[in-house]
């Protein structure tokens, strides 16, 4: 029976540059997210011309570097040359082939690593200072930093986010946010699990929508749209949450993560194979919508994430931009290429243009 590759020890990461400059808690958090991998002789670690944003480090064994099919260099684990990332320039200027029986190596998401290192070096504290007593200090932070949407947030903003977050302890059964209430905070789960439920006219007890765990977030829809909470979130277990106040969230996270476009930019995205993602209610959608489009109402967006094709760029629309910006934020958090149509389709000029040129029907 095969087993999962082991996580790397922090001491192994410490042997590489610039990982050796990370604060201890941040290094341990990165180690918990990094796998020590193996590759047999003759296999390629990467190919010349590759553009995959991954940072490779050679832990043991040896590799040959090939350009135009010719060997142009060799790197052996444990040597000074191996302390640095292997051929980091993109596109790759060479291929890397395993020259020994096998190699051990690390492959780390380059964007996440860049954000982590930059934030680490601009910060004045270690992650443990934010969450004394946490069973796994830093794990929720590295989970957020692995999120590609957070790569658009300036490191200084991330530092301010973590500094302004408040730590909150909850017991199993506690209600964190209640459906219908005004939005006041954005939440990140540090420890424990939460359940999301929504009341309906036919089910006052609430329909169970989802479970959330460490590193997952909630509460952003009401902050962005200005509407009331559209679901209730309660604790399934005892847990710890970090919360960020509405004004801080909108200033530090919301605006940097959203990609606003005007109508002409939106049309260019659609012409390149994108789709309109209309997050209004089905009744609004049937009354008139842009083409080509899909309809996923905002309150269903989390539930329907697995049915939305992540390979397609989207221009998210609603009537005035409030619901669509909330939906785009959720999509961006989860790695979608989501843009927001500024002003929404109810704006007079936009509506007329879409009716005439884009095929609202």
Percent of the chain with pLDDT over 90: 46
- When mean pLDDT is compared across 94-108, 149-163, 309-323, the lowest value belongs to 149-163
pTM value?
Answer: 0.62
Instruction: Break the chain into its structural domains and give their ranges.
Output: 10-111, 123-254, 258-358
- Is the pLDDT score of 332 beyond 80? yes
The tens digit of pLDDT for each residue in 150-185 reads: 777 877 787 788 888 899 999 999 999 999 999 999
Predicted local confidence at residue 148, as pLDDT: 66
- Is the pLDDT score of 126 beyond 50? no
More confident residue, 137 or 121: 121
Residue 278: phi and psi, rounded to 5, are -90, 120
The tens digit of pLDDT for each residue in 273-314 reads: 999 999 998 888 888 888 899 999 887 888 888 899 999 999
- Is the pLDDT score of 39 beyond 60? yes
- Provide Rg for the chain, Cα atoms: 23
More confident residue, 283 or 339: 339
Asked if 231 and 181 touch (Cβ cutoff 8 Å), the reply is: no
* CATH of the structural domain 258-358, one choice from 3.30.70.20, 1.10.357.10, 3.40.250.10, 3.30.750.210: 3.40.250.10
Predicted local confidence at residue 271, as pLDDT: 95
**Closest by Cα among 131, 230, 221 to 180:** 230
Asked if CATH classification 3.50.50.60 holds for the domain at 10-111, the reply, yes or no, is no
Is there a common fold for 10-111 and 123-254? yes
Separation between Cα atoms, residue 19 and residue 27, nearest integer Å: 7
Strand ordering across the sheet containing 185-191: 166-170, 239-245, 185-191, 217-218
Looking at domain 123-254, what is its CATH homologous superfamily?
Answer: Jelly Rolls (2.60.120.10)
More confident residue, 66 or 289: 66
Predicted local confidence at residue 351, as pLDDT: 56
- Is the pLDDT score of 349 beyond 70? no
* Mean pLDDT along residues 2-20: 83
Pure H helices in the chain:
10-13, 24-32, 110-122, 139-146, 155-164, 220-225, 246-249, 255-257, 263-271, 282-287, 322-333, 348-353
């Amino acid at each position: 029976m095969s087993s999962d590759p082991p996580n790397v020890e922090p001491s192994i990461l410490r042997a590489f540059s610039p990982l050796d400059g990370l604060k201890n808690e941040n290094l341990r958090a990165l180690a918990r997210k990094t796998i020590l991998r193996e590759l047999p002789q003759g296999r390629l670690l990467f190919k010349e011309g590759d553009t995959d944003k991954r940072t490779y480090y050679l832990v043991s064994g040896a590799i040959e570097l090939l350009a135009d099919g010719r060997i142009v260099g060799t790197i052996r684990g444990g040597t000074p040359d191996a302390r640095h990332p292997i051929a980091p320039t993109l596109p790759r200027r060479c291929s890397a082939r395993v020259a020994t029986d096998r190699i051990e190596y690390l492959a780390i998401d380059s964007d996440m690593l860049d954000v982590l290192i930059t934030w680490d070096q601009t910060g004045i504290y270690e992650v443990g200072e934010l969450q004394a007593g946490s069973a796994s200090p830093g794990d929720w932070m590295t989970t957020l930093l692995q999120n590609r949407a957070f790569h658009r947030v300036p490191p200084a903003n991330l530092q301010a986010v973590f500094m302004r977050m408040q730590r909150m302890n909850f017991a199993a059964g506690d209600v964190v946010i209640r459906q219908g209430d005004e939005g006041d905070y954005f939440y990140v789960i540090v420890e424990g699990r939460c359940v999301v439920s929504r009341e309906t006219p036919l089910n006052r007890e609430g329909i169970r929508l989802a479970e959330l765990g460490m590193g997952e977030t909630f509460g952003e829809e009401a902050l962005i749209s200005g509407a009331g909470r559209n679901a209730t979130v309660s604790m399934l277990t005892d847990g710890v949450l970090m919360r960020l106040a509405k004004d801080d969230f909108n200033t530090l996270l919301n605006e940097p993560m959203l990609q606003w476009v005007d109508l002409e930019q939106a049309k260019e995205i659609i012409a390149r194979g994108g789709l309109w993602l209309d997050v209004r209610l089905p009744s609004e959608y049937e009354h008139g919508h842009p083409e080509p489009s899909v309809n996923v109402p905002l309150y269903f967006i989390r539930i329907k994430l697995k049915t939305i094709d992540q390979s397609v760029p989207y221009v998210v629309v609603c009537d005035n931009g409030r619901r669509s910006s909330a939906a785009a934020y959720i999509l961006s958090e989860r790695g979608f290429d989501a843009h927001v149509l500024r002003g929404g389709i109810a704006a007079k000029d936009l509506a007329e243009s879409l009716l005439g040129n884009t095929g609202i029907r």
